[in-house]
């Protein structure tokens, strides 16, 4: 007789062992659920392919901003899950003694039998823990109201990859490209107080970067009695620098922005 071979103590010990195992499983499951909430999803990075100087947009219709991906509410239970999962759990709960089922703190059980669970457990793990836990199972978490997006903006509904229109950053890059090409050719005349002179030269460029017409001095400032003699030469050398720097090598896509240029020429040590 197998029954007789178990002593009362043994039976009690066995029951306690089973109970304790169940408690251990429950504690581990709960711990796993908490850990998952703490993990944030990685921020999305929008990648746009650009040329070396980063002036030219690759997108055919560039947009400055693009909407961030939005999931207004994360789905509780995906359709696939609700069908597939309950089966084994139900079987389990039937197979287990009643006490075990009562102890189970899993959120699933709560949804099905709200009255059964302990009130103090409920508010905590519930709202976000539930969907996370299910991720391991096959099926999508993304709800029907999920909105696709590639940017970070929350103010626009545009969903194409953000690409440069001619913005402040592109203007700065273009300016420094022009300054870089002018600098080797620009040297101010020598003299007293020439550091105070500033010449503004304007010129027009053709699409291929060559000069259209002769550069002209728009204005000069900082002229005083000591450097008046150098002022004219200052302007002449500024024009010379532009002439020597031409043809300019600039991105053709932004020709409309660099066809007319106005640069200040000065000296500082």
Partner 1 sequence: MKLLALSLSLLAVAAPFSAPLSAQDQDLGEPLAEGGSVESVTVEGEDTAGPLRGTVTDENDWRDLGIAIPAFATDRDRATAANASGTAALGLEVARVITANLRNNGIFKPTGPDSLPRPPFPQITAPSWGSWSGRGAEMLVHGYVQARDDGRLIVGCYLYDVALRDELVREGWVVRPADWRRAAHKCSDLIYARLTGEDPFFDSRIAYIAETGPKDKRVKQLAVMDSDGANHRFLTLGSATALTPRYSPDYSKLLYLSYVDGNPRIYVYDIGSGSQTLVTQNASPTLAPRWSPDGRHILYSMAVAGNTDIYRVPVTGGRSVRLTDTPGIDIGGSYSPDGSRIVFESDRSGSQQCYIMDADGSNQRRITFFGGRCATPEWSPRGDQIAFTRIAGDFNIAVMSPSGQNLRVLTDGWQDEAPTWAPNGRIIQFFRTTRDAGRSSLWQVDLTGRNERRLPTPVDASDPAWGPIRP
Which residue ranges make up the site for partner 1 (CB under 8 A)? 166, 171, 174-176, 178-179, 182-183, 186-192, 202, 225-226, 229-234, 240-241, 243-244, 257-258, 260-269
What DSSP element (H or E) covers 12?
A: helix 8-38
Q: Are 241 and 185 in contact (CB under 8 A)?
A: yes
CA distance 225 to 208: 42
Question: 16 or 172: whose CB is closer to partner 1?
Answer: 172
Phi, psi of 177 (to 5 degrees): -65, -40
Based on CB atoms, which residue is closest to partner 1, 135 or 260? 260
Phi-psi region at 120: left, alpha or beta (left = phi > 0; alpha = psi -120 to 50): alpha
CB of 213 to partner 1, least distance (A): 13
The residue (of 140 and 243) whose beta carbon lies closer to partner 1 is: 243
Taking the least distance from each CB to partner 1, the nearer of 65 and 266 is: 266
CB closer to partner 1, 51 vs 179: 179
From CA 74, how far away is CA 84, in angstroms rounded? 19
Non-local CB neighbours of 155 within 8 Å, separated by 6+ positions: 65
Nearer to partner 1, 76 or 266 (CB): 266
Nearest distance in Å: CB 268, partner 1: 5
Of 148, 190, 178, 183, nearest to 249 by C-alpha is 178
Cα 103 versus chain centre, distance: 44
Min dist CB 69 to partner 1, Å, is 30
For 98-219, where are the alpha helices, taking DSSP H only?
98-103, 107-112, 126-134, 168-182
In angstroms, give the least distance from the CB of 191 to partner 1: 7
Smallest gap, in angstroms, from Cβ of residue 74 to partner 1? Answer: 40
Shortest separation between residue 61's beta carbon and partner 1, angstroms: 19
Rounded-to-integer distance, Cα 202 and Cα 267, Å: 18
Does residue 247 have a cis peptide bond before it, meaning omega lies within 30 degrees of 0?
yes
């Amino acid at each position: 007789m197998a029954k007789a071979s178990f002593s009362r103590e043994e039976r009690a010990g066995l029951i306690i062992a089973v109970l304790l195992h169940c408690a251990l499983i429950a504690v581990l499951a709960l711990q796993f659920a908490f850990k998952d909430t703490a993990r944030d999803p990685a921020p999305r990075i929008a990648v746009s392919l650009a040329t070396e100087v980063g002036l030219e947009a690759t997108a055919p219709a560039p947009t400055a901003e693009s909407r961030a991906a939005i999931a207004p509410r994360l789905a509780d239970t995906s359709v696939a899950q609700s069908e597939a999962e309950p089966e084994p759990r139900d079987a389990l709960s039937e197979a287990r003694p009643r006490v075990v089922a009562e102890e189970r703190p899993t959120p699933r059980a709560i949804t099905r039998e709200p009255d059964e669970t302990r009130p103090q457990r409920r508010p905590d793990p519930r709202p976000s823990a539930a969907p996370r836990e299910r991720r391991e199972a096959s099926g999508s978490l993304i709800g029907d109201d999920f909105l696709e997006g590639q940017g970070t903006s929350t103010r626009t509904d545009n969903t194409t990859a953000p690409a440069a229109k001619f913005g402040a950053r592109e203007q700065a890059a273009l300016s420094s490209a022009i300054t870089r090409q002018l600098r080797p050719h620009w040297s101010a005349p020598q003299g007293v107080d020439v550091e105070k002179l500033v010449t503004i030269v304007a010129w027009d460029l053709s699409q291929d970067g060559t000069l259209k017409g002769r550069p002209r001095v728009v204005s000069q400032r900082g002229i005083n009695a000591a450097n008046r003699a150098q002022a004219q030469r200052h302007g002449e050398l500024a024009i010379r620098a532009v002439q020597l720097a031409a043809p300019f090598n600039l991105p053709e896509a932004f020709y409309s922005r660099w066809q007319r240029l106005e640069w200040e020429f000065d000296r500082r040590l």
